[in-house]
Amino acid sequence: MAVHRYWRLTVTGSASPSGGPSVAGKVAHVASLEMRNSSGGANLSVTGNGVASADGNDGGGFEADKAFDSNASTVWLKSGAEQHWVQWDFGAGNEQEINHFTLVSHS
C-alpha cells in the first residue's frame, strides 16, 4: 500500500446514535477511528501527529477531532446529506502507510 498525507473515511448516514443527540433524518457519526501501519501497532492518528477535519459537524462537542480521540463516549456527528466524510491529515513530509483501521461506533 502507498503512503499518503490524507486518509479520509466516507460515512453513509443512518439513524441517530443510541444514547447520542436526537437528530431528525440521516446522521453520519464516528466515535473512534484509529489508524495503524501494522496490526497491533501504535495508533498514528493522535493529536500532535496530524489534524482532523470533516465536511462539517453539528455544533459544539461534535467536531472532527472527536473521531480520533480514542474515546467511544465522544463522537463526530454530521446530519443532513446521505454521505459525509471525516479525515486525518498527517502533514507535509509525514505521510503514512496505513493498513490497519479500528472503527468504533458510539457507546
Pick the more confident residue, 104 or 54. Answer: 54
Q: Within its chain, how far is the Cα of 84 from the centroid?
A: 11
pLDDT tops 80 at residue 1: no
Is the C-alpha dihedral spanning 13, 54, 95, 73 positive or negative?
Answer: negative
- What predicted TM-score, i.e. pTM, was given to this entire model? 0.85
Pick the more confident residue, 23 or 77. Answer: 77
The pLDDT tens digits for 44-77 are 999 889 999 999 999 889 999 999 999 988 999 9
Q: Greatest CA separation found in the chain? A: 41
Using CA atoms, how far residue 37 sits from 10, 17, 59, 92, in Å, is 20, 29, 32, 18
Q: Say what the pLDDT of residue 20 is.
A: 55
Give the integer Cα–Cα distance in Å for 85 and 60.
18
Q: What's the chain's average pLDDT?
A: 88
Q: Are strands 27-30 and 100-104 parallel, antiparallel or unpaired?
A: unpaired
